[in-house]
Structure 1
Amino acid sequence: MPNASDGGVLLVGPRLDPAHTVTGSRVGFEHAISAFRKKGLKHEIVNTVKGGVARAGSFSVTRAIHTLGLIASFLRKLRGCRTVYLTIGSSLMGFIRDASLIWPSRLMGRRIVLRLYGGGYGMFYSEQPAILRKLIRRTLAQATVIMVEGKLLREQLDFVPEIDRKIRVVPNGLPDDLLPGTSGPKLLPDGAPFRLLYLANMIESKGYLDLLAACRILREKYSLPIRCDFCGAFIKTAVDGADLSGEEAGRRFHDLVDRWGLSDVVEFHGVVGGELKTRLHVESHAFVLPTRYPWEGQPIVIIEALAFGTPVIATPYRGIPEEVIDGYNGAFVDPGAPEQIADRVAGLARDPDGYRQLSANALAHFARNFTQEVHFDQVVAAVCGEDG
């Protein structure tokens, strides 16, 4: 297997683990690994995570101990590589880890490519004391290239010196485990329920409770036959302000399903993958992600939906307007507005011609911007290409 000791690229980031929580940064890092493997480029890998995500954004002693181990592994592999590709974090612990990798790379004269997933870095930076903000600026300034997911996510790094020269916009692409195989746009169901799909971590600020409330409205106000599939892991975050654990949040969700009489239309699948994930995408008529999650970036789950020709209902938040164009391949709603979600769903369900056009546009938008081939070419060009 090609490796960084031959002068290749040292890829540093969070690996996916089937036994633990799926996150956008983990999926994105696997994309980068796939790009180098499929193009036969020399590389070696350092995994920055160990275990699952129990409480996103929080400090963990276990995580701190693991960080010391990965720094040692990184330093052993750094000597032979030409370029370091590092997925950076948006937390204090993440920055300490990243700085411990960036500065040795700089001292050894390596090309440094930083990859930022999500849209919370500006918030993290602004909350730090002045002396730490100065250190963050100086550390990120050591990068040769800084990659972000979309044009709308550039401004969170405006504080970095010479950012306009360093920044590269590299949108996400379709994951390896999905093969849409669609032959054309979707059609509305003939006499069958209109199927809604939520596929993301079950974090309250991502809007899953808003969608659940919308299901109640669709049944009681619009009398619309629906089915709604929820997929993901219940996670407690450091930013939602809730005291509920993941287990407690799950119990509350199921209690609401029973209390609102939705047990015959709502199904919770947990974390899905493989054939089940593909089938849910194929069978869905609308993908719904009414997120206001503080660290949201350019959700890969929306790209997956577009690849299957599924119109998307989402908030115009962070990088989402580069994926969803209101009235073209989906519809926008305000955060915390289940009534709007229900209204958009009812509108889709009652307009067969309009729905088919939205689906066709979803396929076209995906093909132009988010295919795996386009993504791989952009990643490799940013990591290995000439600067300027």
Structure 2
Amino acid sequence: MMFDALVDFLVANNFTVGVIDLTSEYTNIKIGKFSLIRTLEYLKIIIGSINKFIKYRGGLLYINTAQTKAGFLRDLFFVNLAWLFRYRILMQQFGSNFGNFYSELSPWFKYLVRTNFNKGHFIIVEGEFTKCQFSMLYNYQNKVVSVSNGLPERNLLITNKGKIYNPNHTFNLIYLSYMIESKGYWDVLKALNILVNTYNMNVHCVFAGSFKNSVDAVLHINELEAEEAFKLYILKNNLQNHVTYYAGLMGNAKAQAFLKANIFLLPTYFKFEGQPVSVLEAMAYGAVPVVTNYRMIPNMVTPEVGLFVDPRSPDQIAEKVLFLIKNPKTYATYSQASVDRFLEKYTLDSYSKNILNLIKMTLKEQNFE
């Protein structure tokens, strides 16, 4: 969504943009694990994209770089194709596991990574936490640039006002992300069970996201088993009237869910986590974030904006939700602070302008404008 929004912004600013679609036709690939099928698929995409590199030769390559071996090998081909056709190269690294990825490589593979990234004029990261992970590169202080994400929704149904909670109404929660174990959806579900069956709270939670299997999963061997266990837990604990699950929410349906939500929950410890865009969306709608103090999340969610919990801590999640339910005035303060921070720092327009400036700098410094 961020990429699509950026393309639209560049076209509106009179850039000619060619797009290479890296979307996989396979849905059962484990996130973060080497896949021969995916590698061969990348190779097919690369070969099919050569005509685009010829067509736009001498332009600029913008590429989202990977944090896995298969993804890096894909990037290696694209970057060297761009180098061959005299492109200027602008890289963007989403997520903040690059340091761990690099440290686990062999010396020879590390050399390949350094060489490849040194061909980029700028490398865009989401925050200072990730910037330091590129310290092995030449002149990284100037080469690596921090740009905060922006919310890529084009038609937000928001105002500059936060929410007010009426204690006579249902307190609504939302979890919106991939249903990945380390994203914390199980902790949210268990916290909901505590709120309903221990404290008899009038709460409802929307879970939105497709089930995905990740390399850091420990409870279930695949997404089908995980989804079955999720639904069985709901039945066993009589949570049917307190949970709504969507495999995905888009457009107006997602906007309506956020408008209704009092709290956004993402107690993540996901290996590849960076600066989740869903957190920004929650802040835009005044859905108070209850999140982990992990990776770059605390750069977005300050103590004035949301509440923090430890990973794998359903009891803490339930405690924070109870606190906000019982303190409506405090809840309203957090909600307004969330909206204010979003409008100040994380709009799509601000993000797109920052990327556009880096594109212009890349072209100008290389005498290629």
Question: TM-score surpassing 0.5?
Answer: yes
Give the aligned partner of residue 62 of structure 1.
37
1:357 paired residue number:
333
User: Are the equivalent residues in 2 in contact too, given 1:49–1:66 (CA < 8 A)?
Assistant: no
Q: Among 156, 170, 183, which residue is 1:179 paired with?
A: 156
Amino acid at match of 1:73: G
Q: Offset of 1:107 from its aligned partner?
A: 3.8
Deviates more, 1:234-243 or 1:81-90: 234-243
- Cα distance in structure 2, aligned partners of 1:74 and 1:383: 22
The secondary structure found in structure 2 opposite 1:59 is coil
From 236, 239, 261, the counterpart of 2:216 = 239
Deviations 1:332-357 (A, max 9, x none): 11101111111111111111211111
**Aligned with 1:314: secondary structure?**
strand
Per-residue deviation at 1:58? 2.7
CA distance in 2, matches of 1:225, 1:171: 36
Output the amino acid matched with 1:40: N
**Contact conserved, 1:29 with 1:87, CA < 8 A, in 2?**
no
Q: Is the 8 A contact 2:258 2:282 kept in 1?
A: yes
Name the residue aligned to 1:24.
none
Name the structure 1 match of 2:141. 164
Q: Distance in 1 between matches of 2:23 and 2:140?
A: 28
Q: Which residue of 1 aligns with 2:52?
A: 77
Quote how far apart the aligned CAs of 1:71 are: 1.7
Separation of aligned partners in 2, 1:276 and 1:199: 12
Q: 1:294 is matched with which residue?
A: 271
Which whole-Å CA distance do the structure 2 matches of 1:158 and 1:221 have between them? 49
Q: 1:145 and 2:122 equivalent?
A: yes
Worse-matched range after superposition: 206-215 or 236-245: 236-245
Amino acid in the other structure paired with 1:195: N
Amino acid at match of 1:95: F
1:38 equivalent in alignment to 2:38: no
Q: Structure 1, residues 154-174: CA drift from partner, whole Å, max 9, x if none? A: 222222222111111121111
Equivalent pair of 1:119/1:295 in contact (CA under 8 Å): yes
Question: How far off is 1:242 after superposition?
Answer: 4.4
**Distance in 1, Cα, partners of 2:220 & 2:174:** 27
Equivalent residue of 1:139, what SS? helix
- Distance, in Å, in 2 between the alignment partners of 1:33 and 1:379 is 11
Shift in Å, 1:86 = 0.8
Task: Using the TM superposition, name which of 73-82 and 37-46 deviates more.
Answer: 73-82
**Correspondence for 1:333:** 309
How far apart are residue 235 of structure 1 and its match?
0.7
Point out where structure 1 has 5 or more consecutive residues left out of the alignment.
Answer: 1-26
Letter in 2 for 1:189: N
User: Percent of pairs identical after alignment?
Assistant: 28
Equivalent pair of 1:141/1:162 in contact (CA under 8 Å):
no
Q: TM-score, normalised by structure 2?
A: 0.93
Is the 8 Å Cα contact of residues 171 and 375 (structure 1) preserved in structure 2?
Answer: yes
- DSSP 3-state at the match of 2:18: strand
The residue that corresponds to 1:29 in the other structure is: 3
CA distance in 2, matches of 1:319, 1:34: 27
Map 1:1-388 to 2 at 5 A: 27-54=1-28, 55-79=30-54, 80-182=57-159, 184-326=161-303, 328-385=304-361, 386=364
**What root-mean-square deviation, in Å, do the aligned CA atoms of Structure 1 and Structure 2 show?**
1.8
TM-score normalized by the length of structure 1: 0.89
Contact 2:160 2:339 in 1 (8 A): no
Q: C-alpha offsets along residues 262-299 of structure 1, whole Å, 9 cap, x if unaligned?
A: 11211112211122111110000000000000000000
Higher helix fraction: Structure 1 or Structure 2? 2
Q: CA deviation at 1:387?
A: 5.1
Structure 1 residue 220 displacement after superposition: 3.4
Query: Does the residue aligned with 2:151 lie in a helix, a strand or coil?
Result: coil
